[in-house]
Structure 1
């Protein structure tokens, strides 16, 4: 009896096999991530071991850089800004929306200093706001431009509108395209079609259509989805390849997770703003459904998705998993997808919370920025880092849509 009592007492202190703690509330998880972002975005400059609050404080001759990646002007920052605005609107907590407004204002209030240096020929590693000053490819303006359009809904600065119009002109009239109108890049080979670029263009075009009422933007966005599917969809795998080389007329080798995530995200962001009576709307929904059903075949037992989606010996990757969670859950929440498919998103979200978020809200296993590669090993070996800024926006958006779905079930 004494031995039994001892074992029972031990059982109170140690979990039984198969026992798991109740998962934290979704809102607590998402807020912890967003609060971590707010706490670690300094919106300052660093040079000569000194910190400067504004560009006006930087001494002549000091090569100052932006103090942290969260304060920089790069496409992942645009994804994050959109997510923070969405979180602020959903939770009705202004501090999250204010983050995006502060981020954009930090850039526009300081860019003229670096623009003047650039005109003098001054260039150095991590030159601040280089993509804001020089727009060459869609990475430079698409995602940040989309986030600026969201900020512009409440902050009507003339310099913001000027940049929005500049980005619209670049995407619609300057950025390279294939003869059929498909957006492409001049590198690494002429002309290269990147799956990433569907996100770097379509969300901006959709928002521009909503802002201006010009259906040409919506028409172009719908056409891009059709074109990218034509060039990048692999029907045998039910997945997208990362890229297409026009000079070889050949698809890439890898079904890279985040490229598939960018493509799925772009379709959802278009549907958010595409008019209900647009003739291409049902086609976009069908395309999105096809992709969701395709990627669902590659979900791991943990709920997570792999860096190379159809290669289970590649690591499970956070950002692509989050993109799929957001897209699938939003499609269910908006009625574009039958609700039985929510289980894909819920299991993926549960895996993210369980394995990829630290107790203080940091993100694990986010693949760093990735170029195209002819060999599959390049994708296998691409580093996954703690808090790489490609993960923040998708993770927050994923949490919002999971919260929406689970809250709707309570009603």
Structure 2
């Protein structure tokens, strides 16, 4: 008691579970992360002559130009970030966050034709701008960015946006490779490989497309993909998903990789966000989501965080998967899909992120970089992390929104 009195006398803060750093509110932490992205996405090009160009029209002949920063590029994590920014703007009624997503999409559509013309001439170089927009080959190229474009299209009704949305829908529904039972898969690294990541790279888009067009075929396909991915990737022994399934070997992968499990959980939540209440598959998706939440909860660390390899505590604690689980669980509680007693899993995860992973300037620590599949577990252990890698920014924003929603109701 004397020690406690002394600490109070000296003005030293005593940590308390549920408090964010420096007593800032949850939404202030979220805005710190989002505002860092807003401030550091330049939406410009950098030439090999070290000059900066605001539009592709300014790039001189013979100059090789790249997009100036990762936050301005056209890759699936940018789509995740755009969706989060729209959600944050809508939640806070602050237009600058919606404007970020709108500006990102416009930057691509106003400039990609220049690089598409170069591509037709055979010009290619490292980090070629808008390559995934120009050449759609796998779900990474169009699924997440397409979903974010659908969110922007709700406000900005440009014809070229709708044309791309229809093109992405055609690719996912009719072009992308599938197993004989209709499960989406990839031609690499082996024919055919089922990636856990691809549930997110397809289902959120399909769900939004169903809502846009009132075509139940999109909803039916999205629900079927959830069922199929669980069939191939769920490991009942650990109650986790493996990262991949090799169709040629009829064999699951070795790693219960954190972010793959996060992508899968996120996809189910985004499907439920858009799936009509009357859809016959809705309760099945909720049951599948609940099963996954109860499974992953067993692997949460004492600091609230989850590991890079979920069932291996000697792997590092990883930011993006933790945020994905926090968002999904808190969202499920907020929407009434999951009993509120499970909110403590999300709250402890969020408080762990705030305490250990979110810096004062809004940058994120310990985000695993983009990751391929591998047959050896050590590959996943040794995947590097990068400060503020863009795989983590969108999920952290989404997690904070849902935690703030829940705590605002308490």
Query: What TM-score does the superposition give when structure 1 sets the normalisation length?
Result: 0.96
Q: Deviations over 1:160-197 (max 9, x none)?
A: 00000000000000000000000000000000000000
Q: Does 1:31 align with 2:70?
A: no
Aligned length, in residue pairs: 404
Show the counterpart of 2:139. Answer: 138
Residues 309-348 of structure 1 aligned to structure 2 (within 5 Å)? 309-348=310-349
Question: Residues 120 and 286 (structure 1 numbering): CA distance in 2 closer, same or farther, change over 3 Å?
Answer: same
Shift in CA distance, 205/9, structure 1 to aligned 2, threshold 3 Å: closer
Please report how far the alpha carbon of residue 57 of structure 1 lies from its aligned counterpart in structure 2 after TM superposition. 0.4
Residues 1:96 and 2:97 aligned together: yes
Residues 1:109 and 2:72 are matched in the alignment? no
Residue 10 of structure 1: how far off its partner (Å): 9.9
State the distance in 2 between where 1:391 and 1:17 align.
26
1:407: which partner in 2?
Answer: 408
RMSD: 1.6
Query: Does residue 1:355 correspond to 2:356, yes or no?
Result: yes
Show the 5 A alignment for 1:250-269: 250-269=251-270
Query: Could you say which residue in structure 2 is the equivalent of 1:40?
Result: 40
Give 3-state SS (helix, strand or coil) of 2:205's partner: helix
State the distance in 2 between where 1:222 and 1:191 align.
Answer: 21
Q: Which runs of 5+ in 1 are unaligned?
A: none
Distance 1:277 1:9, change over 3 A: closer
Match of 2:214 in 1: 213
Alpha-carbon distance in 2 for matches of 1:94, 1:30: 15
| CA displacement 1:335-372 (0-9 Å, x = unmatched) | 00000000000000000000000011110000000000
Note closer, same or farther for the CA distance 1:11–1:54 as it changes in structure 2 (3 Å cut). Answer: same
Question: Could you report, residue by residue, the CA deviation over 1:131-161 in whole angstroms, capped at 9, with x for unpaired residues?
Answer: 0000000000000000000000010000000
For the residue of structure 2 that corresponds to 1:321, the secondary structure is helix
Alpha-carbon shift at residue 23 of structure 1 (Å) = 3.6
Is 1:307 equivalent to 2:308 in the alignment? Answer: yes
Tell me the distance in 1 between the aligned counterparts of 2:115 and 2:84: 28
1:184 and 1:323 map into 2 onto residues whose CA distance is 23
Secondary structure in 1 matching 2:249: coil
CA shift for structure 1 position 376: 0.3
Equivalent position SS for 1:148: helix
1:14-93 equivalences under 5 Å are: 14=12, 23-47=23-47, 48-93=49-94
TM-score of the two chains, using structure 2 as the length reference: 0.96
Give, in whole Å, the separation in 2 of the partners of 1:8 and 1:285: 51
* Offset of residue 16 of structure 1: 6.8
SS at match of 1:253: coil
Aligned to 2:201: 200
Q: Report the 3-state secondary structure (helix = DSSP H, G, I; strand = E; otherwise coil) of the residue aligned with 1:36.
A: helix
Of residues 232-241 and 17-26 in structure 1, the stretch that sits farther from structure 2 once superposed is 17-26
Structure 2 CA distance for partners of 1:12 and 1:90, relative to 1, 3 Å: same
Give CA deviations for 1:242-267 in whole Å, capped at 9, x if unaligned. 00000000000000000000000000
* Distance in structure 2 (CA, Å) of the matches to 1:16 and 1:334: 34
**1:28/1:189 CA distance change after superposition, 3 Å:** same
